[in-house]
Amino acid sequence: MIGSGVAGLRAAIELSRHGRVLMLTKGNPLESSSIHAQGGVAVALSEEDDVSFHLNDTLKAGHGLCRRDAVRVLVEEGPGRIRELIAWGARFDKIGSKFAFAHEAAHSRSRILRARGDATGNEMVRALTVQARRQKRIQRLGHHFTVDLVVTGGRCRGALVLDEATGARFVVPARAVILSTGGAGQLYARTTNPPNATGDGMAMAYRAGAVLEDMEFVQFHPTALYLPNSPPFLLTEAIRGEGGRLRNIKGELFMHRYHPDAELAPRDIVARAIWSEMAATRSRHVYLDATHLSASFIKQRFPTIYATCLHYDIDMTEEWIPVSPSAHYMMGGVRTDVHGATSLPGLFAAGEVACSGVHGANRLASNSLLEGMVFGRRAALSAVAYARRQGRAAGPVPSAREIDGGPPGSLEDAEKLRSSLRRVMWGKVGLARTGDSLAGALGQLSRWERLVSRPFAARLDLEVKNMVQVARCIAEAALWRPASIGAHYRADSPKTARPGRLQHSRVERPSQKLTVKRKQ
């Protein structure tokens, strides 16, 4: 088990019922993206809702590229997973004796469960961690960086691991491996993701020969705090769901000019509208205005955001908050079926690292935490079934020295390369792309890829290697798709009505080329 967010924890709990589980996490296990998730978890549990409504909203947001069978699994199994989590001690906000369901953009019903106002991910991770600690067969290793997957005989047989404290490298053999390493937001100069979101799982799977799919679909959250001397901080969709309004630098409301649902339009539309307003007014941000909401409501509903804004001398009850889009979520990733199985036997994936087809070209707000719960469990059950079929007589695995092929070295000025890559991705492979910008990015990324094609000893160097390889996969997929659809916006071809638009992009290591697969 590689990763310790919602998907990883739920998978580990399920695995522990069938055998021994080792959870590997780079850095601190509490640094996952899941723990920072604010808005909530979307689930059809209210009296006015139904799984069919949730299914239709998800399909609509995905612009025709969702896999219906995966979406059906998500919405039908989701309520059971959330009830299970509540039974394990998760505490979601209530009004009286009933859950307080919030409304978010592109949802036809109020179906967003939240915890402590804007700390839903934190509460879900807390409850899952408590449950995982009760399972005696789960062993957790923090500060252990997974360098590569071990593949012999065409099957994934374990992982090569770096002990961050000692620098020692060793192989962990396994009958099955589950990736739940999260996304790759750190590829971009502006991102809501924590520093460890460097695409490690996608890069490892790619090098091992697994198929990556729909890598061009990177979701940019419309509203991240914009201050020149502070990192982007996510301002949840729920603020607009509760009535927050967007104003340009002149103070004008503008969303009604871009979509009939105004601030409650799908994320990709809101993000591009903000981008357009920034370009038209030659500004670096717009404003999120919640000053018409009552101060007591804001403090109670968004305590973390209120406190964070105050830390930067912004009182959101009295002042407009400067915001701009930031890289937020990967819809693409390691291709899986609805059971979490990848194209590489023995390797399974769940959560943001995976591409099951749930999100299509644009993720519906607050579906990601539910995805981690549902597909984390499914991947675990699939891994257990696979391990039982294989039995124990699999033979020896190679040593760390054999896998490395020589002594690991160091990357000259890794921090500078990391910074340069993030600027290239933001400027050329960001929210608005063109064929020329993508071709330019690919030229630079190909040169960098040659620099990182050898084994490295330090975590920072290994992360930069992963970032370069995943960045190239994103740029290559984006160049292949000439028309705009969902989160993939080609400024040189903004219309979506083109032949082949409902095909999935596909990147895999053996041919080093991009191929396509028709929608299923």
**pLDDT digits 0-9 by tens, 250-271:** 999 999 999 999 999 988 899 9
Decide: helix, strand or coil at residue 102.
strand
Q: Flag whether pLDDT at 511 surpasses 90.
A: no
487 and 218 in contact (C-beta within 8 Å)? yes
DSSP category for residue 253:
B
Buried/exposed code over 80-99 (b: 16+ C-beta within 10 A; e: otherwise): ebbeebeeeebebbeeeeeb
Q: Are strands 177-179 and 347-349 parallel, antiparallel or unpaired?
A: parallel
Using CA atoms, how far apart are residues 70 and 60, in angstroms rounded to an integer?
Answer: 14
**Cα angle: 299, vertex 33, 203; to 5 degrees:** 160
Amino acid in the structure at residue 163: D
**Ordered domains of the chain (ranges, CATH):** 221-326 (3.90.700.10), 409-518 (1.20.58.100)
**Residue of 211, 233, 227, 464 whose CA lies nearest to 326:** 233
Using CA atoms, how far apart are residues 195 and 218, in angstroms rounded to an integer?
Answer: 17
Using CA atoms, how far apart are residues 455 and 190, in angstroms rounded to an integer?
Answer: 28
Please report which helix (H) or strand (E) contains residue 324, including its range. strand 321-330
Question: And the tokens for 4?
Answer: 């310790």
Amino acid in the structure at residue 500: G
Residues known to be catalytic: 267
pLDDT digits (tens, 9 = 90+) for 224-259: 999 987 778 889 888 998 999 999 999 999 999 999
Decide: helix, strand or coil at residue 473.
helix
Give 62's contacts (C-beta < 8 A, 6+ positions apart).
71, 359, 360, 361, 362, 363, 364, 486
118 and 302 in contact (C-beta within 8 Å)? yes
Q: Flag whether pLDDT at 383 surpasses 80.
A: yes
Task: Supply the pLDDT for residue 372.
Answer: 97
Longest dimension (CA), the chain: 69
Which of 21-35, 118-132, 172-186 is least confident?
A: 21-35
Q: Per-residue confidence at 512, pLDDT binned at 50, 70, 90? A: very low
**Cα angle: 303, vertex 38, 354; to 5 degrees:** 170
Decide: helix, strand or coil at residue 488.
strand
Question: And the tokens for 252?
Answer: 């004008």
**Cα angle: 342, vertex 348, 349; to 5 degrees:** 95
**Cα angle: 488, vertex 489, 490; to 5 degrees:** 120
Can you count the helices (H) and strands (E) in the chain?
A: 14, 20
**Residue of 115, 93, 111 whose CA lies nearest to 102:** 111
Q: Per-residue confidence at 412, pLDDT binned at 50, 70, 90? A: very high
DSSP 268-298: HHHHHHHHHHHHHHT-S-EEEE-TTS-HHHH
DSSP category for residue 211:
P
Q: What percent of the chain has pLDDT over 70?
A: 96
Buried/exposed code over 251-268 (b: 16+ C-beta within 10 A; e: otherwise): eeebbeebeeebbbbbbb
Average pLDDT, the chain: 93
User: How long, in residues, is the chain?
Assistant: 520
pLDDT digits (tens, 9 = 90+) for 3-41: 999 999 999 999 999 999 999 999 987 777 777 667 799
